[in-house]
């Protein structure tokens, strides 16, 4: 895997000055801090000057970015994946990794993403949007239209927070209340029976697909970040037809939302081997439990090399705009 004439792992002698954004004040702060720490360590080992910046501690608005070549976004959740920090960085003129503000906003809001998938013909489970004040009777009516089993999830949340697989009517309202804790807009979605897959992408280049297996009901927060018994299968056999459909669906989903750079598509393969895209994560996790680094590792890429490749593509696609960079009285100290 390469970018232009630069082979993977080569920086042509460049040593970048990189600000790594992680932490923040979203519900995913703890995971974001771990992603940020992993990125800082990996890029530092590659010889770059790397500065961790936590927006919950250091306000980004008005920050002087002149000393940096690029900002690496490792912020999960709100103000990381929803387009807000991307808009701020765009206004500041500093290159940043990942998708632009509009694509980030759409991907983070599952209502907008699902609507875009349907418009562009991306295979995705049938769904409907719920408000924050649905009655138990109304939920039952909606469920009859979707069918059992089904999934209740917040419209704007990551890391499977607030997600419940609902098997029957008795579980429906409690699942709705749990999702409502995280967002006033809720999605009800058909549950696909089959195998769960996650696929990392660098733009349109597909990393090795991973089949996720857990003894829990589904790949929830605990299975993702705490359960060492969760299995990540990089050699799970797929027919030529199913693999082709899976890869095509991932690329189609990425293009439908305008996602760029490093991303991750989560999807199900049903019992016939057909894909159903669940969502796209525009700032995939980079912790020791995260799946994109595992997939890259199968290609022989270290986390540092993966981050470098992400930065190279960023700098080629999104150059600095010096006329927007501004100096302020704010200064950044290493270790912030």
Set 183, 189, 247, 279: catalytic member: 279
**What is the torsion angle, in degrees rounded to the nearest 10, for the CA atoms of residue 222, residue 226, residue 230 and residue 234?**
110
Given a contact cutoff of 8 angstroms between Cβ atoms, the answer to whether 186 and 129 are in contact is: yes
Residue 173 is a catalytic residue: no
Residue 281 annotated to the active site: yes
CA 11, CA 256: separation in Å to the nearest integer? 32
Cα–Cα distance for residue pair 95/111, rounded to 1 Å: 28
Q: For residue 236, with 0-12 CB atoms within 10 Å meaning exposed, 13-18 middle and 19 or more buried, which class applies?
A: middle
Say which of 3, 159, 260, 290 is annotated catalytic: 159
* Residue where the block lists tokens 């694509």: 103
Q: In angstroms, rounded to a whole number, what is the distance separating the alpha carbons of residues 245 and 259?
A: 19
Known catalytic membership, residue 226: no
Q: Provide the token pair at 67.
A: 């000393």
| 225 catalytic residue (yes or no) | yes
User: Which residue out of 96, 176, 182, 225 is catalytically annotated?
Assistant: 225
Q: Please confirm, yes or no, whether 279 is among the known catalytic residues.
A: yes
Structure-block tokens of residue 249: 């669906």
Annotated catalytic residue within 46, 281, 313, 318: 281
Contacts of 144 (CB under 8 A, 6+ apart): none
102 is catalytic: no
Given the residues 3, 23, 28, 100, select the one marked as catalytic.
Answer: 28
d(CA 121, CA 256): 9
Among the listed residues 78, 105, 251, 264, the single catalytic one is 264
Among the options 83, 98, 285, 304, which is catalytic? 285
Three-class secondary structure of residue 199 per DSSP: strand
Q: 109 with 184: CB under 8 angstroms?
A: no
Peptide bond into 61 cis (omega under 30): no
Which of 50, 51, 49, 56 minimizes the C-alpha distance to 30?
Answer: 56
Distance CA 105, CA 192 (A): 26
Query: CB neighbours of 85 closer than 8 A, spacing ≥ 6?
Result: 21, 55, 60, 73, 75, 79, 96
Contact between residue 93 and residue 322 where contact means Cβ atoms under 8 Å apart: yes
Chain centroid offset of residue 178 CA: 22
The catalytic residues are 28, 159, 225, 264, 266, 279, 281, 285
């Amino acid at each position: 895997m390469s970018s232009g004439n630069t082979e993977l792992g080569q920086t042509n002698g460049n040593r970048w000055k990189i600000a790594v954004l992680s932490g923040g004040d979203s519900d995913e702060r703890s995971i974001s801090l771990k992603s940020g720490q992993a990125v800082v360590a990996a890029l530092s080992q590659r010889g770059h000057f790397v500065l961790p910046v936590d927006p919950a501690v250091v306000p980004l608005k008005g920050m002087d970015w002149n000393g940096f070549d690029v900002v690496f976004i490792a912020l999960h959740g709100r103000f990381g994946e929803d387009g807000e920090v991307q808009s701020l960085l765009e206004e500041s003129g500093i290159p940043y990794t990942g998708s632009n503000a509009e694509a980030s906003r759409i991907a983070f809001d599952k209502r907008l993403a699902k609507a875009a998938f349907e418009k562009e013909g991306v295979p995705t489970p049938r769904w409907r949007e719920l408000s924050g004040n649905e009655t138990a009777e109304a939920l039952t009516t909606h469920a009859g239209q979707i069918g059992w089993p089904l999934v209740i999830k917040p419209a704007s949340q990551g890391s499977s927070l607030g997600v419940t697989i609902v098997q029957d009517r008795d579980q429906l309202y409690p699942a709705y209340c749990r999702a409502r804790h995280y967002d006033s807009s809720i999605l009800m979605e058909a549950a696909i029976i089959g195998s769960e897959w996650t696929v990392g992408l660098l733009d349109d280049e597909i990393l090795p697909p991973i089949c996720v297996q857990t003894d829990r009901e589904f790949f929830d927060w605990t299975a993702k970040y705490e359960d060492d018994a969760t299995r990540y299968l990089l050699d799970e056999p797929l027919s030529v037809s199913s693999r082709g459909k899976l890869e095509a669906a991932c690329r189609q989903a990425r293009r439908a939302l305008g996602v760029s750079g490093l991303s991750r598509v989560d999807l199900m393969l049903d019992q016939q081997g057909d894909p159903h895209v669940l969502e796209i994560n525009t700032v995939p996790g980079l912790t020791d439990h995260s799946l994109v680094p595992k997939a890259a590792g199968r290609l022989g890429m270290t986390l540092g090399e993966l981050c470098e490749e992400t930065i190279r593509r960023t700098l080629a696609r999104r150059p600095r705009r010096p006329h927007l960079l501004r100096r302020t009285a704010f200064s950044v100290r290493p270790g912030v």
